[in-house]
Amino acid sequence: MTLCINALGQDSAASEFTALKQDSGKNVSEMNLTLFTVTSAFGLEGLNVGEAVKFTAPKAGWKLRGVQVLGWSGFNNTTQTFPSDRNFLLEIRDKDLNLLYKFADAQNGYFLSPAGPIFGSIEIPAVPVTGDFYVVFYDRGSMAVLMEEDEGTGNSFFFSNGELEPAQKINVTTNQTYELNWMIEALGQ
């Protein structure tokens, strides 16, 4: 039996994880990315607003094993200033938005980087998903999530009070609406 190291750093005898993405498919270095936190957009009301991404399980029996979020806690390398620990919240929801899994932790353990934004990997117990499902990440002002500002796929949303709203931005000069992509990935096998 051959063991391989998967995206979350665990041994896996079966296979490596499959990463599901809902962005433009470009290389990250070629994307138009912007840091976003719900508290800067919604104030304190943003503490209960999540960045949600809709995914589709690639096969029957697929299990979600982790989530990767491209984000940054705001660490200042020049002054060696560490942001105060604040909690983010992660939820996994089925196609009907029923809660399947919930997890909270401090952001610095996942998104602390002197070089700027990084993909923070969050391991979760195997969650069986069928068909469509949602990953909802509540940054709660603890850190910033990156969003892709062009070539939206229509699979990124704001989630609040049990409701989904399309993640969009309006250009005030042209009055054109742009769909956004949250840089969130689902990992499973």
Residue 69 half-sphere exposure, CB side, CA atoms within 13 Å? 31
The yes-or-no verdict on residue 3 having pLDDT over 90 is: no
Query: How many domains is the chain built from?
Result: 1
Is residue 24 situated within a structural domain?
yes
> What mean pLDDT value characterizes the chain?
87
Q: Smallest Cα–Cα separation from 90: which of 60, 61, 56, 127?
A: 127
Domain annotation covers residue 13: no
Mapped onto helix, strand or coil, the DSSP state of residue 32 is coil
pLDDT band at 67, cuts 50/70/90? very high
**Structural domain containing residue 75:** 19-188
Residue-wise pLDDT for 117-176, tens only, equals: 999 999 999 999 999 999 999 999 889 999 998 889 999 999 999 999 999 988 888 888
More confident residue, 48 or 41: 48
| Average pLDDT value for residue range 83-100 | 94
Residue 139 lies inside a defined structural domain of this protein: yes
pLDDT interval class at 4 (50, 70, 90): very low
